[in-house]
Amino acid sequence: MGPPLFIVMRSEHCPKCTDLEGCRDSHLYVIQLKEEIADNYEKKSYKGYLYVGQTGVSVEKRGKMNFTRRDGTIVDPDLLYLDRKKPEDEQKWPEDGGWVYEAKSIPKIRAYFLKYRPDLVLPPFENPHKFEKEDKGKIDRYEGKLADKLANKGWRIINGVSWKKMKKRRNNSS
Ligand SMILES: [Zn+2]
């Protein structure tokens, strides 16, 4: 008998995370939405539509939470996509308040999820991000700056994350 075999799934979003266990540092992630989401916007993006987020757990774990029902069921994004094509009263998994995550932009992820884009977590924003006591706002700032960088390249950020906007808001309120 050889040595015991350990199968560890590596995260594609962080060199230190496995896909179930986070490395305890923070992570930035980018989700590309299906082109159909463009129907919701008057001003279209020629490049595409992205959600930019941050999480303290592994990106895989956080991703599963977006598709988890309150009863614990995890719905496959492709099955959910087909379900959303049905009339609302025939849908098995509508936006009925039965999801663990209800925050504003999350229903858009459920409706239009295409894929993760770890390749768009551009330098110098690569994961993981250590918590710094002296700089508590670091991960928010990085998230906003990454979003601005992608927006400058022509992507539309569907959850409104932006360091420029954050700064403006802060200046206006002081
Ligand atoms: Zn990690």
User: How high is the pLDDT of residue 84?
Assistant: 95
Other beta carbons within 10 Å of 168? 11
Q: What separation in Å is there between the alpha carbon of 87 and the centre of ligand 1?
A: 40
Q: What separation in Å is there between the alpha carbon of 44 and the centre of ligand 1?
A: 34
Contact 77, 65 (CB under 8 A): no
Q: What is the pTM of this model?
A: 0.91
With 90 as the cut, is the pLDDT of residue 34 above it?
A: yes
Q: What separation in Å is there between the alpha carbon of 23 and the centre of ligand 1?
A: 4
**Euclidean distance between CA atoms 169 and 174, whole angstroms:** 9
Q: What separation in Å is there between the alpha carbon of 96 and the centre of ligand 1?
A: 32
Q: Mark out the alpha helices in the chain (DSSP H runs).
A: 59-66, 77-83, 106-112, 138-152, 163-173
Q: What separation in Å is there between the alpha carbon of 151 and the centre of ligand 1?
A: 25
With 70 as the cut, is the pLDDT of residue 3 above it?
A: no
Beta strand pairing call for 48-55 and 155-157: parallel
pLDDT category of residue 37 using cuts at 50, 70 and 90: very high
